[in-house]
Amino acid sequence: MEKIHISLKVNGERKEADVEPRMLLVHFIRDVLKLTGTHIGCDTNNCGACTVVLNGKAIKSCSVFAVQADGSELITIEGLSKEGKMHPIQEAFVEKFGLQCGYCTPGIIMTAYWFLNKNKDPTEEEIKQAISGNLCRCTGYTKIIEAIKYATQKLKTSF
């Protein structure tokens, strides 16, 4: 199959590659860019483990072709920490035990990152709504919601 050249900004760095038109963005991220923090839980647009931020919006990267990301700006979980220091949302998940096995965690943190960028003071209901597309099989969500609430406080004082 003929490959298509794509060029995009990933975590602040320009990346270029030739990809098959049918390659999903999540496979491009994991297999070509080797950014394996983005997980695959279902491949059918259900679990949210593959969530990344594309052009400022949280998306499920298994529902988009890599060629559709040409010219865009992509942030993956690897793009959140700066100079070896975790992002306040990541710190909040650690401090509030917002994870167990951790498989869903990168996707949930990317959803929270997008959501808290546009809503600095969310209610619990709004948090639940925001993460409704991200499934977690371990935590029962209580600790995740606590971690996101705590992250809103940390974000007010961190930057």
Asked if 137 interacts with ligand FES (CB under 6 A), we say yes
Distance of closest approach, residue 34 Cβ to ligand FES, in angstroms: 18
Residues 70-129 that bind ligand FES (CB under 6 A): 99-105
Distance of closest approach, residue 56 Cβ to ligand FES, in angstroms: 19
Q: What Cα–Cα distance (Å) separates residue 149 from each residue in 25, 61, 110, 143? A: 30, 25, 15, 10
| Three-state SS at 67 | helix
Stretch that binds ligand FES, among 1-9, 34-42, 82-90, 145-153 (CB under 6 A): 34-42
How many Å apart are CA 100 and CA 104, to the nearest integer?
Answer: 9
Burial of 145 from C-beta contacts in 10 A (0-12 / 13-18 / 19+): middle
Comparison of 53 and 84: residue with beta carbon closer to ligand FES: 53
Interacting residue ranges for ligand FES, rule: CB under 6 A: 40-43, 45-50, 60, 62, 99-105, 136-139
